[in-house]
Amino acid sequence: MTYVNAFVNAGYGKDLLITNSQNNEDWVFKCKEDGQTAAAASLGMLLLWDIDEGLGQIDKYMDRREHHIVAGAYMGLGLINSGITNECDPVQAILIDKLESSENSTLKIGALMGLSFTYAGSARADLLEAISPIILDSGNSTQLQAIAALAIGLIYVGSCDEDAAQNIIQTLLEKNEDQLNDPFTKLFALGLGLLFLGQQAKCEASLECCKILPNQ
């Protein structure tokens, strides 16, 4: 219901499920864990591109104790600002800080997705610099590394950026066969594919490297 409501009312700024003053917090807290993330994030879809109203609406969820709600708020913040150029650049300032200061994987994932929603296609070097260490750090979970790779794929979509591709491939090559069987490993492939979206002739080197992976 949350997803349907968000897409049906995307950009309208109000609905009867999330933004209704009588049901706003009730709906978020009726959900559990991932459902809370989706509910909080959906607010960003409803308030798409409405920076003035949106930041105020999202802010009340960003300091909650429930990590899933906060992660959803980070995603919602990214959605509100999707594709918007702002001199103050609030999303970069807020979410990079959260990405670097948080020790919780759920919060890091929320920040990564929020950044990718706002800066998709921007190919910003500062974001590659901030996110690459997460991909390359073998101490991180495969899930966190994979979502970081997906975020870079979205931010650098179609760019064929060599450094971005190398970071993803290097991380994959360092994983053993059991780790490669993790379901989240598919997101590495998706992130890599996004880098070369519409650029088939330029992906041959990366494809050759991928052939080294076992059972691929």
Q: What is the mean pLDDT of residues 85-109?
A: 87
Q: What is the mean pLDDT of the chain?
A: 84
Task: Residue 86: give the domain boundaries.
Answer: 1-119
* Predicted local confidence at residue 43, as pLDDT: 84
**Residue of 140, 155, 64 whose CA lies nearest to 109:** 140
Q: Which of 96, 119, 142 is the last residue of a domain?
A: 119
Q: What is the DSSP letter of 16?
A: S
Q: Which of 68, 96, 119 is the last residue of a domain?
A: 119
Pair (6, 87) in one structural domain:
yes
Residue 133 predicted with pLDDT over 60: yes
Pair (3, 79) in one structural domain:
yes
Q: Which of 72, 97, 119 is the last residue of a domain?
A: 119
* Predicted local confidence at residue 141, as pLDDT: 93
The total number of structural domains in the chain stands at 2
Pair (58, 159) in one structural domain:
no
Pair (153, 87) in one structural domain:
no
Say which amino acid occupies 142: T
Pair (90, 128) in one structural domain:
no
More confident residue, 91 or 88: 91
Q: What is the mean pLDDT of residues 172-186?
A: 86
Q: What is the mean pLDDT of residues 58-76?
A: 89
Q: What is the mean pLDDT of residues 81-101?
A: 84
Pair (115, 15) in one structural domain:
yes
Residue 208 predicted with pLDDT over 80: no
**Which whole-number Å values give the CA distances from 177 to 153, 185, 213, in the listed order?**
23, 11, 8
Residues 6 or more apart whose CB falls under 8 angstroms from that of 135 comprise 145, 148, 149, 152, 167, 168, 171
Residue 116 predicted with pLDDT over 60: yes
pLDDT in tens, 4-44: 777 777 766 677 677 765 554 567 777 888 888 988 888 88
71/206 Cα distance (integer angstroms): 32
Pair (94, 158) in one structural domain:
no
More confident residue, 39 or 107: 107
pTM comes to 0.84
Structure tokens at 28: 């978020």
* Predicted local confidence at residue 22, as pLDDT: 57
* Predicted local confidence at residue 207, as pLDDT: 65
Pair (48, 101) in one structural domain:
yes
Percentage of the chain lying above the pLDDT 70 cut: 87
* Predicted local confidence at residue 52, as pLDDT: 76
